[in-house]
Structure 1
Amino acid sequence: MEFSLNKSIEILKTTPNTLNTFLGNLSDEWLHNNEGENTWSPYDVVQHLIVGEKTDWLVRIKIILSDTENKAFRPFDRFAHLEDDSAKSITELLKEFQKLRENNLSELKSFNLTENDFSKTGIHPEFGTVTLKQLIATWAVHDLGHIAQIARVMAKQYKTEVGPWTEYLGILKK
């Protein structure tokens, strides 16, 4: 499938509802267990997505679209959420994520992007030159990756409980 802003927005728009439906009424055990040392729980992933909404995606889009000569992105701290000790409930986090995402998508749409805009570039601290199209596509795929991560982390909580069916459950083999 070729890049489409509208198709990307489809994913970005539905992610908060997907997470709310998936996680909103689960016990703390489902939300806070992970896959072991230095891995993230579903709760951690939601916190990470919030940090991204505040400091990454739209900030970088604005840099690319700006008239400034310096198009360098600041490094994104992928682990900043681990420093948050506010102990918010999952309901509070999901509401915060939904509001941030709604605001960011509203602002993204307000840019009235054209085909020419998608080839504009910024400078990623690790990858070098990247396009707006690549950044927006990455934003959508990033969401999908974390939805899959949450499902995998939760599935692995029952890895030993499923007994011999492990053989048929690919999610437990990754």
Structure 2
Amino acid sequence: MENPSNTIYKVIQFLSKTPTILRMLLSGLEEQSIKTNEGPNTWSPFDVVGHLAYLEKTDWPIRIEIILSDKTDKTFAPINRIAHFELNVEKHIEQLLNEFETLRKENIQNLKSKDLTEAVLSKEGIHPSFGKVTLNQLLHTWVVHDLTHLNQIIRVLAKQRKRDVGPWIEYLSVLK
């Protein structure tokens, strides 16, 4: 696992950083910043953290186990991408950050406990939309999913200051 050229090492190296990055970005911010989104049908930083925590329970680890199982049917169940809205109504951002961090640590420990050789990484599951996908693809998608949502949070936080940057808006691509 210590070999930096190892795919799993690289995946785990990044996945383990996401909870810290989220905490550094969001912990201690006022609720208005945390719960502001970009408009109708968009997500706030609070929503994104709730979504990430939800998928730590219902997506990544389950799909990994399906791929690694001996079952003949390796079809993934569809994911409810908006279930977190109802589940997190009464929660505070610190609760979500703690929940996400705990779940992510458990999932990383689970990954580390597996013997994920190159042959194992080529094992397949069946995505409900895409068809056959490999474990390697799933793991890298997990990393890019994190990056996508980190980008989203940063964009939402930046856009909250759009009116205040004055003429510098021309140089700030995140605001366009």
Please tell me the TM-score bracket, short chain as reference.
over 0.9
Does residue 154 in structure 1 map to residue 157 in structure 2?
yes
Gaps of 5+ in 2: none
Moved over 4 A (4+): none
Letter in 2 for 1:157: Q
2-structure distance, mates of 1:165, 1:5: 41
Identity %: 53
2-structure distance, mates of 1:132, 1:16: 23
Tell me the equivalent position of 2:105: 102
1-structure distance, mates of 2:30, 2:40: 21
- 2:50 and 2:88 in contact (8 A); partners too: no
What are the within-5 Å matches in structure 2 for residues 1-174 of structure 1?
4-173=7-176
Secondary structure at the aligned position of 1:160 is classed as helix
TM-score, with length taken from structure 1: 0.96
CA spacing shift, 1:52–1:85, aligned 2, 3 Å: closer
TM-score, with length taken from structure 2: 0.95
Q: Displacement, 1:78? A: 1.0
Letter in 2 for 1:57: W
Q: 1:103-134 CA distances to partner (integer Å, 9 max, x unpaired)?
A: 01111111121110010000000000000000
Structure possessing the higher relative contact order (Cα contacts under 8 Å, 6 or more residues apart): 1
Gaps of 5+ in 1: none
- 1:32 and 1:41 in contact (8 A); partners too: yes
Number of residue pairs the alignment of both structures matches: 172
